[in-house]
């Protein structure tokens, strides 16, 4: 079974990461659902620490349907499965995503020796209508366009795609996002949006110096305009998932609304 995008236009989802703090989450998943919809978003990335149990999933899905919010993504944490306990957890996440009406589970790949494991994940997820997305992410094997192509061709499974993250390209020193998305487009099923600027005092450590969070379209951040134009030309039909960090004392609502307004303007 090969999955196809079913949305008719680009939509916005918001990550629960905005409420994530070193000590835990500052609100509940149910509160996140209400706020995300109220702020104009179409989908929610349900973060792993607040992922409901299987017996709670039906009630959460009902709440999402009540407000008109779709599940866009959930991380599968714990690393590549190398024992029965990790496989049990992966299956729990797959089944819960399915129960929530979602189709996307995110993984990271440490090296090519894990291609076969991701292929097995994809096989196990397929009967539940869930797709495995490899995150384009610094400090993983899938950290460049060339390696992303190698990863997709090496795994070679119709139920595996890419979670494309332009900011991680920039952190790694590659700024031609439009060219990258054109090369990787056959595999891209979800796109993360987060903005950074170079800062000696920043706490986001990339391959080339330190970076700090940045509001989109403000001077000094990532130039997303050519990238957005390219995904429109290519006919992308999927979520732009806002997955920025928010720190203690910052206004979560203002940041979420800024991202939505900025990218709506580009679209």
What gap in Å lies between CA 249 and CA 255, rounded to an integer? 12
Q: What is the pLDDT of residue 7?
A: 59
Candidates 68, 59, 1, 73; CA nearest to 30 is: 59
Which single residue is written with the structure tokens 């916005």? 12
Note the pLDDT of residue 136.
98
Residue with tokens 């129960």: 99
Contact partners, residue 36, CB within 8 Å, separation at least 6: 13, 14, 44, 69, 256
Helix and strand tally (H, E) in the chain?
9, 13
User: CATH number of 11-266: 3.40.640.10, 2.60.130.10, 3.20.20.150, 3.40.50.300?
Assistant: 3.20.20.150
Query: pTM for the complete prediction?
Result: 0.95
The upper half-sphere exposure of residue 64, i.e. CA atoms within 13 Å in the direction of its Cβ, equals 25
pLDDT of residue 147: 98
Q: What distance lies between CA 128 and its chain's CA centroid?
A: 20
Nearest to 96 by CA among 67, 110, 75, 118: 75
Strand pairing category for 24-25 and 188-193: unpaired
- Domain ranges (residues) in the chain: 11-266
Q: How far, CA to CA in Å, does 206 sit from each of 60, 113, 192, 211, 243?
A: 36, 24, 17, 7, 17
CA distance 207 to 139: 9
For tokens 């999955």, the residue is: 3
pLDDT tens track, the chain, 267 positions: 333 434 558 999 999 999 999 999 999 999 999 999 999 999 999 999 999 999 999 999 999 999 999 999 999 988 899 999 999 999 999 999 999 999 999 999 999 999 999 999 999 999 999 999 999 999 999 999 999 999 999 999 999 999 999 999 999 999 999 999 999 999 999 999 999 998 888 878 777 888 999 999 888 999 999 999 999 999 999 999 999 999 989 999 999 999 999 999 999
Query: How many residues are present in the chain?
Result: 267
Whether the CB-CB separation of 178 and 220 falls below 8 Å is answered with no
Residue 17 DSSP code: G
């Amino acid at each position: 079974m090969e999955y196809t995008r079913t949305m008719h236009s680009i939509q916005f989802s918001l990550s629960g990461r905005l409420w994530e703090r070193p000590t835990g989450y500052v609100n509940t998943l149910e509160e996140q659902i209400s706020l995300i919809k109220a702020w104009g978003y179409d989908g929610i990335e349900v973060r792993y620490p607040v992922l409901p149990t299987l017996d709670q999933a039906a009630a959460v899905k009902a709440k999402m349907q009540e407000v008109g919010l779709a599940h866009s993504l959930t991380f599968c944490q714990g690393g590549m499965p190398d024992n029965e306990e990790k496989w049990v957890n992966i299956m729990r996440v797959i089944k819960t995503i399915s129960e929530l009406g979602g189709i996307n589970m995110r993984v990271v790949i440490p090296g090519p020796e894990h291609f076969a494991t991701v292929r097995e994940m994809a096989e196990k997820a397929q009967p539940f209508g869930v797709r495995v997305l490899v995150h384009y992410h610094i400090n993983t094997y899938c950290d460049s366009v060339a390696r992303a192509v190698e990863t997709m061709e090496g795994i070679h499974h119709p139920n595996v795609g890419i979670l494309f993250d332009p900011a991680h390209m920039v952190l790694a020193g590659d700024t031609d996002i439009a060219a990258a998305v054109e090369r990787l487009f056959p595999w891209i099923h979800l796109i993360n949006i987060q903005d950074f600027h170079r800062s000696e005092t920043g706490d986001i450590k990339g391959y080339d110096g330190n970076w700090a969070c940045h509001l989109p379209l403000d001077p000094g951040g990532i130039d997303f305009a050519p990238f957005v134009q390219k995904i429109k030309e290519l006919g992308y039909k999927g979520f732009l998932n806002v997955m920025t960090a928010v720190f203690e004392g910052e206004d979560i609502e203002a940041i979420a609304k800024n991202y939505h307004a900025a990218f709506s303007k580009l679209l």
